[in-house]
Amino acid sequence: MILNEEQQMLADLAERIFADKASVDTLRAIRGGSHGNDYDQDLWQAMVESGLTGILVPEDQGGMEFGLVSAGLVAREVGRRLALTPFLSTAVLGAIAIGRGGNDDQKSRWLGPIASGELIVALALDESAKHRPERVATQATAAGDGYTVTGQKTLVLDAANAGVFIVSAMLDGTPRLFAVEIGAGTVDVEPVVSLDTRSMADVRFDAAQAELLDGDDNTLDAVLDAGRAMLAMELVGLSRAVFERTLTYLSERKQFGQRIGSFQALQHRAAHLSVEIEISEAMAFQALAAFDSGADDASQQILAAKARAAETARLASAEGVQMHGGMGMTDEFDIGFFMKRARAASELFGDANFCTERFARAKGY
């Protein structure tokens, strides 16, 4: 992927911000409860001030409207630094759901606050432990000029801080997307402990007042495509970070009087992993570009990229832990955090098996 001048400037900006503000130590503090918040607010504020939260928001709403390739450059840094922010849930999923499905009034009310960091959005989609977007039991009912939504969603990302939920619900036998504002009805948020320290919760809507997002039936597909593409890039960034840390360890750790990086068997494993990361990154960039261009096979490319990136992250984290030896499993080293995030991100919006199966079906197998 050859970046244009604007994209390269954005990539450099994101790298500087995350290198300066993001730290695995913050993740440790949040996990231990000493941080006081469930995401990195200092980093999020820096992202807001630099405009990174408005990458997918139109310019007339205060954003940049740079496209998914540019958002992917930020997601790559999120993965490299294990950053805890609402970027995926709000700046990507929320911006696309409202941007594509919202009417003029909804866009006016919500897209600006997304770009300015004032509003956090949560996508409430799944109703079981595994990603099955077509299985929707939540019901929407017409009520006056609006609707009410009743049902329960599981593992909703950034739900505890959300001001608006984007909810999938059945309306007249068809799954549609609705926007539910906090305070617009009964919404019960029950935080759950996540493997990777991300803020997640089970959410119950009890006749909550809702607004229909009037986009066509492809709005949800576009939101999920964007989410999977972002996760693919995040997993690529994560894999690169693990690879870099592992190479550093191999160059420093000595055994039998030699640096273990000089052992041919470990060199072969490192070379294999390097190739896998390059292929995964190329596929992820191609998928992002396909989404931006509206390519007919964009969804298929994204499924392939997510599946490949998930497998590469699994390999990278496993190799990283193994090459660090027994110490790789201790809490003193950061590698274990990358392994946990790799597992969680791979599951979100469909694991490698899910994406592979959907890809095969799309190809007629």
* Same domain membership, residue 101 and residue 158: no
Whether residue 249 contacts residue 334, with contact meaning beta carbons closer than 8 Å, is answered with no
Domain range for residue 238? 219-362
Whether residue 249 contacts residue 324, with contact meaning beta carbons closer than 8 Å, is answered with yes
> Which of residues 91, 115, 139 is at a domain's end?
115
pTM for the structure as a whole: 0.95
* Same domain membership, residue 296 and residue 253: yes
* Same domain membership, residue 348 and residue 245: yes
Q: Give which of 52, 49, 31, 43 is closest to 95, Cα–Cα.
A: 52
* Same domain membership, residue 101 and residue 179: no
Chain-centroid distance, C-alpha 4: 24
CATH of the domain at 62: 1.10.540.10
CATH of the domain at 278: 1.20.140.10
> Which of residues 212, 240, 275 is at a domain's end?
212
Q: 139-164, pLDDT tens digit by residue?
A: 999 998 899 999 999 999 999 999 99
> Which of residues 187, 212, 237 is at a domain's end?
212
CA distance 115 to 98: 12
* Same domain membership, residue 107 and residue 125: no
* Same domain membership, residue 248 and residue 165: no
Q: 238-263, pLDDT tens digit by residue?
A: 999 999 999 888 888 777 778 877 78
The alpha helices in the chain, defined as continuous H runs, are 5-21, 24-32, 41-50, 68-81, 95-101, 104-115, 219-252, 264-293, 298-323, 335-347, 352-362
Number of domains the chain is built from: 3
Whether residue 27 contacts residue 197, with contact meaning beta carbons closer than 8 Å, is answered with yes
* Same domain membership, residue 181 and residue 161: yes
Q: 26-74, pLDDT tens digit by residue?
A: 999 999 887 778 999 999 999 999 999 999 999 999 999 999 999 999 9
* Same domain membership, residue 316 and residue 206: no
* Same domain membership, residue 165 and residue 104: no
Weakest-pLDDT range from 94-98, 198-202, 219-223, 260-264: 260-264
* Same domain membership, residue 254 and residue 207: no
* Same domain membership, residue 110 and residue 129: no
